[in-house]
Structure formats: structure tokens, C-alpha cells
A and B are shown apart, each in its own frame.
Chain A
Amino acid sequence: MAMTTPLDIESIRADFPLLARSVHDTPIVYLDSAATSQKPTAVLDAMDTYYRTVNANVHRGVYYIAEQATNELEAAREKVRRFINAPSVSEIIFTKNATESLNLIVQSWGRANLAAGDVVVLSHMEHHANIVPWHMLVAERGIELRWIPLTADGQLDLTDLDSLLEGAKVLSVTAMSNVLGTLNPVRQLTDAARAVGAISIIDGCQSVPHSATDVQALGADFVAFSGHKLCGPTGIGVMWGREELLAAMPPFIGGGEMIRDVRLDGFTCNDLPWKFEAGTPAIAEIIGLGAAVDYLSAVGMDAIRAHELMLTEYTLRTLNDRFGDDITIHGPADPDLRGGVFSFAFKDLHPHDISQILDQHAVCVRAGHHCAKPLMKLMGVGATARASVYLYNTTADIDALAEGLDATGAFFAF
């Protein structure tokens, strides 16, 4: 990776208004960006300005602000295209979130291309959004699911990848685990899928916000991600798909915008991307997403990755040195193999209790199964506590986490 200048953390943190607040009279320490990211003023201003100055329905009006709104929406689409190096804006479909993106792929591509007995390969570390829609298709038409197992340190076990992929139609995996932080070898996986004639779908929810994404270099056929995890608003997600596939897929949701013609006896579809964008879009959210992409691009995705790598090294070292056997941080030990997501077990304390005490210290971590119950079961736990970092976190945040864990251990010690 190229050398990058360290982030100007103070300047970045000043861009995020929520980070200035206190909780329980203590400055907030937000370590749950894997659940949702905080928003910079640029994003908030963009959405507010849209509503104050050019709010009008898009693709419909001849009048000035309607044209402006349309231009801003389509400009945001181009920003997203550039952000992930997609070949064409026709391939950028706006959805509600990554979950909807994945459901769209399963329902539209899946139902048009998969029959009983067809094989879809997933992995044991997948998020429910990349499991449940496939289960629904199993129930509906009897497709078969296979699962890539995991190694002891939470990476994909690719020993039997070739036999798992034999005769498969689909490989659908996450680029980065939202529980273990594991970074998966996406190109190796998509190459293996392509070699057997399978399409590959990549869940980019944790990867796209945290490092540079090039969908062409990934070799994938579909990539899904959510806006709210990359400093954008909630309610907006992206499905990128190769144009050739999208053009052949039937529409997912029907209504206005996605049609060219509607008669009493039928309809014809609009061109891509609008074929998959029925009804009035989340215009403000799309514009907010565009502003988020601008913001992150200005900071630099390589610089963000370098910052998180530094924080990852710091976190693993600090927590392991301080707590030794009392803490188990799941996932690979090598910082280069993981992103800034840390699920951990601490003493024999339940994540609810850990996060309750940490909350008293204004430290925000997640407790639960992180929408990965099969993975939890594999790990032999009902739930984990999870801390995660982003461009606005510092080593001081990790120190606060360590202090909070100390206090947690002391509270429950007897």
C-alpha cells in the first residue's frame, strides 16, 4: 500500500457534530461504526440545502427546481459510480439499504436464473441479509445451499473451495466480516466462481466504507452496500451489478419511474438504472450519499485504511497486553488480515452487561449476535460485544474502551 499522510484527526472530528456531545456527563466515545457511522456536516448540509432550495420530484418536471433536483440526484449517482469505479451509471441502482439490494438480487436475478437443485455457495460468516433471502428461495423452489467453513482464527477455509463450487451457479460472500473483522480474498473467490461459470455477489457493507473499492478489479457480478455505514444517511443503499446481467433481469418493484409505457393490458420497462427504482426515490438521501462519497474521497480511502490499520494494531496490542487471558478478540491476529471491527469476549461477562458498564463511561459498543446467528453458534457463543472504528476514531478512544473494561471487570469481580 502506498504511503499516505496520517489523517488530520482533530480536523476530521470537528466535521462530525455528534462527536462533540456528552453522555452521562462524559464525552462520547463512539465505537459502533460497524452498526452505523456518524455524519459529517457536509452531508447534513447537503440534505438540508436540498430541502430548503431545490426540493422537487425528479425525472418529472420541466420547471427549474425540478430540473435541478434531477441533476443533483443523477450527479450523486455519478459520484457513487466513480467511488467504486463502476463502468457505467446504468449499473448503479439505489435501494433502501444493502439488505434490500441483496433481496433484489435474489428475487430478480435468482428467480429468473435458479431452479430446484441449483447450488448457491455462501459462507459461515455471512450476515443474515446474505442468508435469509437464500433460505426463502430454498423454500420457494428448492435451491441448494453450501457453506464455506471457517478456520480456527475466523478466516474462510478455502481448502475445499473447488469442490464446494462444483456445479454452483452463485457464490455470495462478504468482503469483510461484521463480526470477526476478517478481510476476505475477494478476487481469488470471484476468479474461482467465474471458472465454474458461477456469478459472484459481494456484500460490501463493511469494506466499501473503509477502503478503496474497484468493482471491476474485484471481478464480481454484483456488489451491495449501505449508505449509512459510509457517513451517509439511513434509508439509502446501493446495488451495483454488471449491465449485461441487469438488462436481462425482470423488474423487482413495479410502479412509476421504472416504466416506459403502461396500458390497460400491460407495461414496458424503463432503461437501466431506473428499471429498478420504482416510485419517488429517497432524493435527499441520495444527495446525502453523494456528499458522503465526496467527503470520504477528499479524505482519501487509502488514508482511511491506513488509519484503521494503525488503530487495529493499537487495539489488538493494547487490549491483549492489558487483559491477557481475560480477553479474547475474535478473528485473525494479523492486523493486515482484518478491518477495524473487534468482537470480543471479556472474562465470563455477558455482552449486555459489558456494554451497560461501558455505557456508564460513555463508551458505545454493540452487544448481541450482530445479525450473524450461524456464526455465533459456530463460535459457541450466544452473543459478543463488538467495538469498531472509523476515520474519526483515535487511540484515545481505544484507551477509553480499555479503561471501561477495567471498570467492568472490577464491578463484576467477586
Chain B
Amino acid sequence: MPGLEDLYREIILDHYRNPRNRGELESPPAHRVEGFNPLCGDEIVVYLELDEDRRITDIRIGGQGCSISQSSASMMSAAVKGRTVDEVSDLTRAFKAMMSIHESSLGGETAEPVELPEIKLGDLEALRGVVKFPVRIKCATLAWNTLAQGIDEALA
């Protein structure tokens, strides 16, 4: 039986109590995007600034949510600041792979669980235990899905 220590690692609680990059950015020029957890009760707002090289020059997180969604958003913000959109895309795939979520291949078959060990997840590794509580996976991925949507919209 998975224990709570799997879910609530200290680093998660640290990011929950002291979330990084909280606040807002003037938008425009920053891009503002909202996300809602289908497991209702978490809402997130992501503000992001991209430069001409498609690099995230600044990011802020708003909204309210549970310890998993907030800490994931906080860790995400620290991990993606200064990264290019392509690097963020790799990081997102790696994070979701850790959450056991795999984009299905063009061939259409169910994807084998494939982790991406070459991509360093750093602090985000702490969220690995979420997979033992599948209901909370959506909490962990909320910020990432919202960020991806925001990047798509900003580049459109």
C-alpha cells in the first residue's frame, strides 16, 4: 500500500509552502493562460514571456490549488525559466513520462512506458511518487499542460 511519504516528499512540501515565481506579469506583452484541473479544485494561471529566440525569459504562477499542483507548478517555473520552447517540450515529455503518461505514437499502438533518462528532471523527481496515487496525476500535470497551451497560443 503506497504511503503518504511517497506522495508528500519534503521538497514538495517546501515548494508548497514557499512557491517560487508567484505573481503576475503585465500581459501583454507577457502571455496569460488559465488552466483547470478536471479533478476539480485546482486552478492555475501562467504568465510567460518569450523572446525572439523562443526562450522563456520570465514566468509567473498564479491561482490556487493543492500541494501537488502548486509544488509542481513551482518546480516547473524554476525548471523552465531561461529555457527554449524546444527544451521545455523535452522536459514536459520527460515529466509526463515519469507520470506514466505517454503520447501515443503515430502508428497508433499503445506506447510502451518510455522514460527519457537523458533529460534531467532535478527537483521534479520528487513528484515521482504521484504515480502511486493516480487520481493526483492530474494535479501534478496541470501546470505543464497549461504551460504547453500557453506556449502554443503565444507562438501562434
Contact = CB atoms under 8 A, between A and B. Distances in A.
Interface size class of B (residues with CB under 8 A): 20 to 34
B17 A414 contact: yes
Interface string B59-84: 00001111111100000000000000
B41 A368 contact: yes
A131 to B, nearest CB: 15
Best-buried of A24, A352, A356, A357 by chain B (most CB within 10 Å): A352
Interface of B: 1, 4, 7-8, 13, 17, 39-43, 63-70, 133, 136, 139
Best-buried of B4, B7, B17, B70 by chain A (most CB within 10 Å): B4
Contact of B43 (A357, A360, A382, A412): A382
Nearest to B64: A382
Nearest to A24: B1
Contacts of B1: 24-25
A64 interface: no
Interface string A347-368: 0001111001100100000011
A352 B41 CA distance: 8
Given A350-B67, A352-B139, A367 B41 contact: yes
A356 B40 contact: no
Contact of A369 (B17, B41, B67, B69): B41
B38 to A, nearest CB: 10
Contacts of A63: none
Given A353-B66, A356-B136, A382 B4 contact: no
Nearest to A367: B41
Contact of A368 (B8, B40, B64, B69): B40
27 contacts: A350-B41, A350-B42, A350-B65, A350-B66, A351-B41, A352-B39, A352-B41, A352-B42, A352-B65, A352-B66, A352-B136, A353-B67, A356-B4, A356-B136, A367-B41, A368-B39, A369-B40, A369-B41, A382-B43, A382-B63, A382-B65, A383-B41, A383-B42, A411-B4, A412-B13, A412-B67, A414-B17
Interface of A: 24-25, 350-353, 356-357, 360, 367-369, 382-383, 411-412, 414
Given A367-B41, A382-B63, 17 more contacts: A24-B1, A350-B64, A350-B66, A352-B68, A352-B136, A352-B139, A353-B66, A356-B4, A356-B7, A356-B136, A382-B42, A382-B43, A382-B64, A383-B42, A411-B4, A412-B13, A412-B67
Contacts of A368: 39-41
Contacts of A351: 41, 66
A392 to B, nearest CB: 25
Contacts of A24: 1
A25 B63 CA distance: 36
Nearest to A373: B40
A414 B12 CA distance: 13
B14 to A, nearest CB: 9
A383 B13 contact: no
Contacts of A414: 13, 17
A414 B10 CA distance: 11
A25 B3 CA distance: 13
A24 B2 CA distance: 10
A367 B63 CA distance: 17
A357 B133 CA distance: 12
A24 B3 CA distance: 10
Contacts of B7: 356
Contacts of A369: 40-41
Nearest to A407: B4
A357 B67 CA distance: 12
Contacts of A356: 4, 7, 133, 136
B4 A357 contact: yes
B40 A383 contact: yes
B41 A382 contact: yes
The 8 closest A-B pairs by CB, nearest first: A383-B41, A352-B66, A350-B66, A368-B40, A368-B41, A382-B64, A369-B40, A353-B67
